A = this chain, B = another copy of it.
Amino acid sequence: MSNAPSIAGRDVVTLDTFSEEEIRAVIERARGLKADGYSSTMRGRSLAMVFFDPSLRTRASFAIAFSTLGGTVIDLVAGRDLWQLEMREGAVMDDLADEHVRDAARVLSEYADVIAIRALAREGDWAQERRDRVIVSFQKHAQVPIFNMESVLDHPCQAWGDALTLEEEFGELRGRKLTLAWTYHPKARPLAVPHGVSTMACKLGMDLTVCHPEGYTLDARVQQSLQHTAAHSGGSVRTVSSLEEAVSGADVVYGASWGSIDRHGNAEREAALRGKHKDRRLTTQLMSATNGARFMHAMPIRRNVEVDDAVVDAPGSLVVRQAGNRLHIQRALFQEVLGVQ
């Protein structure tokens, strides 16, 4: 890897801050590691995982990735293990928060070589929410690299693992057509996966189609970034409303559901809008209009609501491999960020 760009010491919060070459170098390393078993490159090093929200795939894959490199993992749950954190600089802390994020981040930096954080939406107001205050505050105050295990805005390790899966499947991705298809889900789901996957697709020069009903646009600044990124990588990005149109000729259909940003924090209005689109479900009929597309999804999947069993369980479904590749991409990222040659 001697000529690969070094990302040692960097935070992994969004793919947007990494170059195409850096992204590909990590994928390359992950492909190498995937064949390997145990290594001891993290011996004597520690990962602190801090969960402000629950997690299965991410908790399991982060913990096992770091441990099977020989490192030590601690699993901290906010509200149980962490005091409630004050985020405002200079605050007079006479209210509910018992500890300032500045202190929590500096202390954890004494114990751990890398801190990984999951913190989803909690503010109600999108303009506030999109500032991703928890992870940004840890980035500001911690003395060690920060990994994003899903924030309001992004889920980079999911997207990076998906890129590994796509490369395994297609080789070169430039010019491949990926359709990100909004599907109905009984709950308003986060935007982190759609943002992360879109960013990844644009970074790697794919032709991205984002398909959703009215009122479900991605974050405006993320959309601007996507346009910019696609222009730079030779990819493209378009938005269409019709699911039939969106999947036509696609190489990959990536199912996802997400809440309406316009109605963020107003559950009733959001549910009323979402409820009009219960028919947005991925079926074998839709898949037959694609270019023999692979099916992808970040899970969990509401089967027969978001997507039919026949699509999830078809030979072209990559969902289980996507989850498995989280392990390998994260092992590669830990090694890259912690400066293992």
Instruction: Mark A residues whose CB is within 8 Å of B.
Output: 37-38, 43-44, 46, 48, 54-57, 59-61, 63-64, 67-68, 72, 74-77, 80-83, 86, 90-94, 98-100, 103-104, 106-108, 110-112, 186, 299-305, 309, 312, 319-321, 323-324, 327
Q: Known contacts A94-B302, A103-B299; can you find 8 more A-B pairs with CB under 8 A? A: A37-B44, A38-B43, A48-B60, A60-B76, A60-B111, A86-B303, A91-B304, A92-B305
A188 to B36, CA, bound (A): 49
Chain B min CB distance to A328 (Å): 10
Given A46-B67, A64-B111, A324-B111, A94:B56 Cβ within 8 A? no
Bound-complex Cα distance A83 to B302 (A): 11
A108 to chain B, nearest CB (A): 7
B56, B107, B320: the one contacting A320 at CB < 8 Å is B107
User: A303 CA to B214 CA in the complex, in Å?
Assistant: 46
CA of A63 to CA of B38, assembled, Å = 19
- Report the bound CA distance from A102 to B90 in whole Å: 49
What residue of chain B has the Cβ atom nearest to residue A306's Cβ? B93
CB of B100 within 8 A of CB of A303, answer yes
Q: B67 near A72 (CB under 8 angstroms)?
A: yes
Q: Which residues of B contact A106 (CB under 8 A)?
A: 320, 323
Central interface residue in A61, A72, A98, A108, by most chain B CB within 10 Å: A72
Contact in complex: A54, B72 (CB < 8 Å): no
Which residues of B sit under 8 angstroms from A90, Cβ to Cβ? Answer: 304, 309
Q: Which residue of B lies closest to A38 (CB)?
A: B44
Complex CA–CA separation, A94 to B299 (angstroms): 15
State the CA gap A303–B175 with chains docked (Å).
Answer: 54
Could you pull out 23 A-B pairs where Cβ atoms are within 8 angstroms? Answer: A37-B44, A38-B43, A46-B64, A48-B60, A54-B80, A54-B81, A56-B76, A56-B81, A59-B81, A60-B108, A60-B111, A61-B111, A63-B74, A64-B111, A64-B112, A92-B305, A99-B300, A100-B303, A103-B300, A103-B303, A104-B300, A107-B320, A110-B321
CB distance from A330 to the nearest CB of B (A): 11
Given known A74-B63, A108-B60, A320-B106, contact A93–B303 (CB-CB < 8 A) = yes
- With A44-B37, A103-B300 given, is the CB distance from A320 to B110 under 8 Å? yes
Q: Is the CB–CB distance between B111 and A300 below 8 Å?
A: no
Chain B residues with CB below 8 A from A46, complex form: 64, 67-68
Closest CB of chain B to A141's CB: distance in Å? 11
Question: Which B residues touch A111, using CB under 8 A?
Answer: 60-61, 64, 323-324, 327
Q: Looking across the interface, which residue of chain B has its beta carbon closest to that of A44?
A: B38
- A55 contact set on B, CB distance < 8 A: 81
CA distance A46 to B104 in the complex (A): 27
Q: Are B44 and A60 in contact (CB under 8 A)?
A: no
CB pair B320–A93 under 8 Å, yes or no, is no
Q: Which residues of B contact A312 (CB under 8 A)?
A: 103
Contacts of A64 in B (CB 8 A): 46, 72, 74, 111-112
